Amino acid sequence: MDFDYISERIARLRMKKDVSQREMSLELGQSIGYINRIENKKALPSIPMLHYICEYFGITLKDFFDDGIEYPVLLNELIEEEKDLDEQNILTLLSLAKQLNARKSKK
Task: Return d(Cα 17, Cα 35) in angstroms, integer.
Answer: 14
> Structural domain boundaries of the chain?
1-67, 71-106
Cβ proximity of 37 and 43 under 8 Å: yes
Render pLDDT for 50-103 as a digit per residue (tens, 0 to 9).
Answer: 999 999 999 999 889 887 777 777 888 888 888 899 999 999 999 998 998 888
- Overall pTM surpassing 0.75 (yes/no): no
pLDDT category, 107, cuts 50, 70, 90? low
**Which homologous superfamily does the CATH classification assign to the domain defined by 1-67?**
lambda repressor-like DNA-binding domains (1.10.260.40)
DSSP 96: H
